[in-house]
Every structure is written in C-alpha cells, then in structure tokens.
Amino acid sequence: MLNRTAPEPSKRTLRGPPGRASDVPEHQVRSIGPAGHCRFPAVLLFTRYRPYMKLINLFRPARLSSALGAAALLLSSTAFAHAHLVSSEPAANAEVAAPTDVTIHFSEPLEPAFSKIALADASGKPAAPAASQVDKHDARVMHLPLPKLGAGRYSVHWTAVATDGHRTQGDFAFTVK
C-alpha cells in the first residue's frame, strides 16, 4: 500500500503541464475567481529558469539553418559587390619600353557604358585620344589603345562599374624609358 502524506499547509499544489511548477508557497500564489475555485493560479515572483521561454533557440534545425543562410547571404553579397583591380599591363610603378596599350584585369565583369581608362602625362594633360573599351570576349578586362609615347612618367586613372552597379576607381603610374 502506498504511503501518501498531505502537502504542508503553507504550500498549495498547482496542476499544469509536466515539467512546470508543482509546489509553490502560498504567498506566491494569487487566486483567480472565488476562493477555493482557483483553476489557473497566477504565480507571482516565481523566477525559475524555463528553457521553453527562450526568445530564439538556435539548436532547432530549422532556426539554425535559417540563421546560417542569412549570415551566408550577407557575407556573399558584400564580398562580390565591387570590381577590384587584379592586375595591369604595364604594372604599377614599372619602368617599360613604350607600350601600345594599357590593359587592366578586374575581379568582376564590367559595364562597358560606364567603365573607362584615362592616361595623363607628367604635366596632367591627356596622353591618349582614343576611348577605352571593355573586351568583348572577357568582360573583366578593359583596354586603352595608346599612341607612340615619349619618355617620361604617365599616370593611369581608371573607373570600373560592375554589372551589379557598384563603382570603383583608382590610379597607378608607370614610366616609359
């Protein structure tokens, strides 16, 4: 036979879902409704850790995959947003024989209508009358045909607009022997 004892008079037994409070002191319980008919007591000052009350539980597979997907989307959109200079011919600060053109390689495809290369001599005057062009076979390459250049230092200013609309620009110089 089971030995059952009555709860202490200072405590009241609460009924609810398993894993919730079962015995709460009388001073922490407020009755709702007429005395003795308390179906759902309101617990005041009850500060017990309840894992089911977390705002975000990242251990559930759906929430975890959503959070990782959002982070990957943010990182990938910022990483591939701009066309950056990869290499140039002639190289920056190089000393070369008179080149026939300036070629710049970028990390992303370019928008031909908005991308350009400008060449200036040591005094800042334009040294190339022709317009630059984006390569028809590889949209990540831009060329500027050059006339015969004399000895001296030349500066290249480039503006690249990627196909996603982001604009970058830069400068480099080279010297003709």
**End residue of a domain, out of 12, 44, 79:** 79
Residue at 91 is within a domain: yes
Q: What is the structure's pLDDT at 65?
A: 75
Q: What is the structure's pLDDT at 96?
A: 95
- Same domain, yes or no: 73 and 153: no
The CA distance from 93 to 30, in Å, is: 82
Peptide bond into 90 cis (omega under 30): yes
Q: What is the structure's pLDDT at 1?
A: 53
Query: What CATH number corresponds to the domain at position 146?
Result: 2.60.40.1220
- Same domain, yes or no: 74 and 91: no
- Same domain, yes or no: 100 and 64: no
pLDDT in tens, the chain (177 residues): 556 665 555 444 444 455 444 455 555 555 455 555 544 455 444 555 555 555 555 556 666 677 778 877 776 554 456 899 999 999 999 999 999 999 999 999 999 999 999 999 999 999 999 999 999 999 999 999 999 999 999 999 999 999 888 999 999 999 999
**End residue of a domain, out of 64, 79, 94:** 79
Domain assignment of residue 37, given as a range: 27-79
Q: What is the structure's pLDDT at 12?
A: 47
Indicate the number of domains in the chain: 2
Q: What is the dihedral of CA 142, 145, 149, 153, to 10 degrees?
A: -20
The CA distance from 30 to 33, in Å, is: 10
- Same domain, yes or no: 69 and 99: no
Residue at 21 is within a domain: no
- Same domain, yes or no: 157 and 99: yes
- Same domain, yes or no: 96 and 152: yes
Cα dihedral across residues 33, 38, 39, 45: positive or negative: positive
**End residue of a domain, out of 19, 48, 79:** 79
Q: What is the structure's pLDDT at 66?
A: 76
- Same domain, yes or no: 137 and 95: yes
